[in-house]
Amino acid sequence: MYKNEFDNALRQNKTFNAYMFFGQSTFLIENYTSMVIGNHGSSDEVEKVYFDDYNFKYCFDKLRQSSLFSSNNILVIKTEKKLPKKEVSALIEACNTNPDSVVIFACIGDADFRAMSGYFSAKTNSVSIRMFAPNAYEASKILEVEAVKLGLRYDTTALNHLFFMHRQDLALTVNDLKKLSILDEQISAKVIDQHCFGIGGVSIEDFLHNLLQGLDISEDVNALLEEGINEIYLLNQISAFVQQMFMISSYTRIHGVANAKEILGYVPPKAIWDKKAKLAIAIKPQQFLKMFDYLNNLELELKSSKIQDQNIYLQSCLIKFSVLFR
């Protein structure tokens, strides 16, 4: 099941005995885990088992027995590796046997959890939900919801400014919104610049612009990878940026003027938008298809080929990209 299908189920007050959240967005996985806990009980009725603390027998026994201190028995298992089918199925069955019990699997990391998601079905009143990384528009809406929850007075542009400052990391952005909530003032880009600090020494936004302008990006890409950014994540950021450039370019050539709200679905900070629009118009339309082909083939190579050093390989391919499309 995908997130939008699960959202529809939640709106219909549908509940399950077992849940599995997995995918590209750790923020959404943890956010929906908390949401489901709230639908089934209170935080006092939850026990959390994280990573290496997982013990099948302990979890199985807990789910089979009702809690002596509360009416709900909620167990959250956070894991970074696929669990055996026999164990997952037994834990789901334990929740079906004991109506007071609910188990939530929060699957974090880069492991392939798709096979594990197949252990969940309507027959056992269990569900697996795949969380894709939200696009910029979806992230903007999520941040607005979080800001309202915190009672913030804010500018939408300011929220997007903070989001880009944190390299489009929702968890870090929301964490800073919580810190800003103690201020009794309108949250603007200026306030954010005064109280918040972005991560890393290299701006991804600047790196993406330099890459498409054909500038030397060797030091920047090396620094980004050394800071711990995953190769596939960085490649996905580049592909998303190229797609934005294509949308801006196409819209402008049809309508004459680029409209951020209609193209992206949100309004980014003015300085960022002006810079993007200028770059998009400078790229020849026929170049976009070649860029997409190059990036898609590169992603396929990184995912399917046995490349000994993906870091070095990606660096060399991106340098070649900047030369080919300058």
Question: pLDDT band for position 9 (50/70/90)?
Answer: very high
What are residue 4's phi and psi, to 5 degrees?
A: -65, -35
Q: What pLDDT sits at residue 68? A: 67
Q: What angle, rounded to 10 degrees, do the helices at 270-282 and 231-255 form?
A: 80
Kindly report, residue by residue over 47-86, the tens digit of the pLDDT: 999 988 899 999 999 999 877 666 789 999 999 999 999 9
Arithmetic mean of pLDDT, 31-41 = 93
Q: Using one digit for the tens of pLDDT, what is the confidence trace for 74-126?
A: 999 999 999 999 999 999 999 999 999 999 999 998 788 989 999 999 999 99
For the ranges 12-16, 82-86, 235-239, the lowest mean pLDDT is seen at: 235-239
Rounded to the nearest 10°, the torsion over CA 301, 303, 308, 309 is 90
Q: What whole-number percentage of the chain has pLDDT above 70?
A: 97
CB atoms within 10 A of CB 300: 10
Neighbour-count burial of 77, counting CB atoms closer than 10 A to its CB (0-12 exposed, 13-18 middle, 19+ buried): buried
User: Is the model's pLDDT at 269 over the cut of 80?
Assistant: no
Would you say residue 230 has pLDDT above 90?
no
Of the ranges 37-41, 140-144, 271-275, which one carries the lowest mean pLDDT score?
271-275
Q: Is the pLDDT of residue 3 over 80?
A: yes
Reported confidence tier of residue 193, pLDDT bands at 50, 70, 90 = confident
**DSSP-based three-state secondary structure for 38:** helix
Ranges 158-167, 197-206, 219-228: which has the least confidence: 197-206
Give percent of the chain with pLDDT exceeding 90: 47
Task: Note the pLDDT of residue 295.
Answer: 93
d(CA 163, CA 87): 39
pLDDT recorded at residue 260: 87
The angle that helices 218-226 and 204-212 make with each other, rounded to 10 degrees, is 150
The stretch 283-297 carries a mean pLDDT of 92
**Tokens coding 28:** 């959404």
pLDDT at 38: 92
Record the pTM: 0.67
Contact assessment for residue 325 and residue 212, using Cβ atoms and an 8 Å cutoff: yes
Taking only the tens place, the pLDDT of each residue in 137-152 is 888 889 999 999 999 9
Structure confidence at residue 161 as a pLDDT band (50, 70, 90): confident
Find the distance separating the first CA and the last CA of the chain, reported in whole Å. 41
Mean of pLDDT values over 258-286: 85
Q: Where do the H-state alpha helices sit in the chain? A: 3-11, 26-40, 56-64, 85-97, 114-117, 136-149, 156-165, 170-180, 189-195, 204-212, 218-226, 231-255, 260-264, 270-282, 285-304, 310-324
Residues 314, 234 contacting (CB under 8 angstroms): yes
